[in-house]
Structure 1
Amino acid sequence: MNRIISLLALAIIVLSCSDSKYKNELDALRTELDSLKITSAKSENNTKGEIATFLTFQGNNAEEAMNFYIELFDNSEIIKVQRWAEGGPVEKGKIMHATFSLNGNLFMCSDSPPVHDWGFTPAVSNYIECENENKLQNLFLKLSENGKVMMPPNNYGFSTKFAFVEDRFGVSWQLNLK
């Protein structure tokens, strides 16, 4: 993005030094440059002041987990990825730091170089309000595959249908029917 902004700025300087027959092109480039500067500033600051869930993966599977979650939820995207370089503390190309959103909610993750004495715990989980039973069942099946079912979908008195699972990466999810 910064390279494009620099090239547009250079084009504006060159056209400004030319005769006035390029006035329309110059005005269009200035407008585009201003728009890109605003977009760039917004994307660089999109996580400042927000609270994000940070997932520390110790099995070098942060990217696999991130892509799995992105596929599960609508309105989800990878925002930014920084990778470990050759000679780093983990395999080249693994996630140093990534930012992504799941249905508009901000998440971050990394492949942690040290193996810690701790991991994910069900005491901290992601709570999902499902708009219908099909959505709940679909999420339950995908999240519980090769994971652990802590509470299968059922009426537990506090909800007509609720499920609690730990996915194959160790991250816990509570699924509730609205």
Structure 2
Amino acid sequence: MSTQQKITPCLWYDGQAEEAAAFYTSLFKDSRITEVQRYGKEGPGTPGSPMLVVFELAGQTYTALNGGPQFNFTEAISLSVDCEDQAEVDELWAKLSEGGEEGPCGWLKDKYGLSWQIIPRALPELLADPDPEKAGRVMKAMLGMGKIDVQGLRDAYDNK
């Protein structure tokens, strides 16, 4: 017996919903497109074109809507990815930023304009250190980074 997810993020695209969902599901384990609903003759989209794409990323359900050009993504919402290590950070950073835009502090925009935070597990662990000086050094190091560098964080933590 499965339980339905109560809250599902809906991402608004201008014609690229199915392409974006296919791209995202190719990047994460336990990911798949589960449903594609298409516009009928009533519109407003072209009959037969994707209207709504339901997909899962690492077990989390999302919908992608081809709603048109009225709305664009902003950094006011982002998808934050908990990365196990630097290798995962490097891989996701390279793939998600290709054709997009790299930002500061682990943030980037993908080629569709969606904001992502690519965060190594070490970052929140080091920032949570009870020693405010160590945590402060890690914060200062992170603020100077684009893609997060785990060794750079550890060096700051150790005051190297």
Instruction: Using structure 1 for the length normalisation, give the TM-score.
Output: 0.63
What is the aligned partner in structure 1 of residue 99 from structure 2?
A: 146
The structure that has the greater radius of gyration is: 1
What is the aligned partner in structure 1 of residue 51 from structure 2?
A: 96
Residues of 2 paired with 1:92 and 1:46: CA distance?
Answer: 29
Greater RCO structure (CA 8 Å; 6+ sep): 2
What is the aligned partner in structure 2 of residue 131 from structure 1?
A: 84
Q: Deviations over 1:76-115 (max 9, x none)?
A: 01122111134622223322222111001110011114x3
Identity value in percent? 32
- Is 1:171 the counterpart of 2:114? The answer is yes
What is the aligned partner in structure 2 of residue 53 from structure 1?
A: 9
Question: Is the CA contact 2:79–2:115 (under 8 Å) kept in the aligned structure 1?
Answer: yes
CA-CA distance at 1:177 after TM superposition: 0.6
Letter in 1 for 2:11: L
Question: Is the CA contact 1:85–1:92 (under 8 Å) kept in the aligned structure 2?
Answer: yes
Structure 2 gaps of 5+ residues are 122-160
Residues of 1 paired with 2:106 and 2:49: CA distance?
Answer: 32
RMSD between superposed Cα atoms in Å:
1.7
Q: Deviations over 1:49-87 (max 9, x none)?
A: x111110102x0110000000001100011221111346
Instruction: Using structure 2 for the length normalisation, give the TM-score.
Output: 0.69
Letter in 2 for 1:163: G
What is the aligned partner in structure 2 of residue 156 from structure 1?
A: none
CA-CA distance at 1:124 after TM superposition: 0.6
Structure 1 gaps of 5+ residues are 1-37, 152-161
